Amino acid sequence: MYDGGSLSEPSLLQRAVGELRVAVKRFGPETVLDELRQVGCLKARFPRRIVPGWMDVVMLNTGGGVAGGDRLDLAFRVGAGGQVTIAAQAAERFYRALAADAPSRVRTRLTVADGGALEWLPQETILFDRSALDRRLEVDLAADARFLGVETIVFGRAAMGETVRQGWLRDLIRVRRGEELLLHDAIRLNGEIAAALARPAVGGGASVVTTMVYLAPDAGAKLDAVRDALGCAEAGASVWNGMMVARILGADSASVRATVVAALGVLREARPLPRVWLC
């Protein structure tokens, strides 16, 4: 009767695995698709062009969120002279992990060749109470490549009355230009996350944090305008080695997003945001 399995065997929960690889290149005055690989829950869509010369890529996770033990691998490559904006269809949600689960694992690599430009504009990363996330963003730029990146982490949605009291987070952003490491930005939180964020030297009570990185020849020239755009928010921006880094803190994602949009308006020279940001 029980030839198909034993009742004593532990149940194994299904885990999502996704792989997405996209490469673009310059073809005449336009940027066109060069390579596309989609595996599992990760997909890419290519909306109609808004700005000549730029390609838009929209990432989708058909799994509807990320749970403990899920593994997502993403790679985007821009050829010489190509210009691409990468966005996500919606905010990504990381749900509560079971005690026996491995952390959710997300690995993203962005590579930009000579004269290329890449904008990394995913929407918010929403963490739920007792979630566990191990995430890395690796950016490799040629000497004269340009890069704009935004990462926002929401520790529980204020409008829903959510609080991330406990959890596990390892989040790393690493940026290289040529062989030079320009940025190694690591967030490590474990255990009582809400209590840690309440400390003045950590989050000062904030539940939303955004990191913006901008590498371009005009980074220094745009610093004052970006600081004006940040306004009176709990935020700051600095420039060194041709790179601007800004950090924005807030108590809710709506106010932080409004500040991010204002800063992006300066850095993107008033080009329209991806349509998915307006939904």
With pLDDT > 70 as the criterion, what percentage of the chain qualifies? 95
- pLDDT at 12 (0 to 100): 60
Q: E-assigned strands of the chain?
A: 17-27, 30-40, 42-45, 55-61, 71-78, 83-88, 92-94, 104-112, 117-121, 125-127, 132-141, 146-155, 166-177, 180-192, 208-215, 234-240, 243-250
Q: What is the pLDDT of residues 127-155, one digit of tens each?
A: 999 999 999 999 999 999 999 999 999 99
Q: What is the pLDDT of residues 48-73, one digit of tens each?
A: 998 999 999 999 999 888 998 899 99
Strands 42-45 and 71-78, by their bridges, are unpaired
- pLDDT at 159 (0 to 100): 77
The answer to whether 234 touches 250, Cβ cutoff 8 Å, is: yes
Report, as an integer, the average pLDDT of 74-83: 98
Q: Looking at the predicted structure, is the pLDDT value of residue 161 above 90? A: no
Q: Looking at the predicted structure, is the pLDDT value of residue 160 above 70? A: yes
Q: Looking at the predicted structure, is the pLDDT value of residue 5 above 60? A: no
- pLDDT at 9 (0 to 100): 47
pLDDT band at 13 (very low <50, low <70, confident <90, very high): low
Greater confidence (200 vs 175) lies with 175
Q: Looking at the predicted structure, is the pLDDT value of residue 76 above 60? A: yes
Q: Looking at the predicted structure, is the pLDDT value of residue 88 above 90? A: yes
Amino acid at 62: T
Q: Looking at the predicted structure, is the pLDDT value of residue 273 above 80? A: yes
Q: Report the C-alpha gap between 188 and 171 in whole angstroms.
A: 7
pLDDT band at 15 (very low <50, low <70, confident <90, very high): confident
Annotated domain spans of the chain: 36-205
pLDDT band at 269 (very low <50, low <70, confident <90, very high): confident
The label of the residue with tokens 């490549």 reads 145
Spatial CB neighbours of 159, under 8 Å, sequence gap ≥ 6? 252, 254
- pLDDT at 2 (0 to 100): 43
Q: Looking at the predicted structure, is the pLDDT value of residue 3 above 60? A: no
